[in-house]
Amino acid sequence: EKCTLPGFCVALAGLRGACGVAAAPACTLQEANASVPADLQLRNPALVAARAAVCRSFEEGRDFRVVAREEGSERDDLPIFTAPAGTVQLAKESERKEVVREDYPDIPGAFVLHNVLTDRECDQIILASEAMGYSEDAPVSLGRKIRHNDNCVWIAHDELTAALFERCRPFFPQDVDGTRPIGLNARFRLYRYNPDDIFRMHGDGAWPGSGVDPVNGSLVHDIYGDRWSQLSWVAYLNDDFEGGGTRFMLPGGRH
């Protein structure tokens, strides 16, 4: 049976806790109670708010580690991170709002799922990724002229990907070019947008399902051998800004 794997792309921008789906082929944080530098408050207010809400720190070796290094357009040593179960403490069903799907008829195949992540889950992902660290380069083929933002790649634990997929499963299309959705790609691509950053027009590519070898702990680019990302799954983690919306290019130059 053919299977498809929605690709996970996280943007530190957009509607908090919402996920958009469309068809398409380290710095360390201070302790949670430490004062926040003034320049950080100006640069990343979402991080300041997240720290105040979560009240915990994330540390390399305990909460995450570098599992591999990959080549980007400028560097050949970009860190790929992984984190164990429990790094993101998931909310109980009783603590979450009902997931609601909002369709966009003018954009074939695109829709938004509201309330997939709770505020606290968003904050934990923000904090953990900041502790891992962001870089200007990324292990993708698009250079800075197209993808002008900061990047962090996180191979998520099955606990996290399975939970998020189950929240979204009822709303996914059940047939994608003869395949069916079976999970989320564990390769989380987190993009942090600073003022004036932009991700120019591009088409998302299909990627095999990545994972961490349970025996030796190494990164396996195609851990399943039978599934590829065929849907773009974008999670928006914060909304304390203006602008930065996602545009879809349509036939005839419309968007």
Residue-wise pLDDT for 114-126, tens only, equals: 999 999 999 999 9
- 71 found inside a domain: yes
Mean of all residue pLDDT scores within the chain: 80
CA distances 232 to 24, 66, 110, 192, 205, Å, are: 6, 25, 9, 18, 9
Q: In a 3-state reduction of DSSP, which class is residue 95?
A: helix
Q: What is the per-residue pLDDT for 213?
A: 96
- 42 found inside a domain: no
The residue type at 224: Y
Percent pLDDT > 90 in the chain is 44
Interval 103-119 mean pLDDT: 92
- 162 found inside a domain: yes
- 209 found inside a domain: yes
- 178 found inside a domain: yes
122-169: pLDDT as tens digits: 999 999 999 999 987 666 656 667 666 788 999 999 999 999 999 999
The number of domains in the chain is 1
Domain limits for position 227: 3-31+58-253
CA distance 191 to 48: 17
- 15 found inside a domain: yes
60-84: pLDDT as tens digits: 999 999 999 987 677 778 899 999 9
Q: Is the pLDDT of residue 35 over 50?
A: no
- 167 found inside a domain: yes
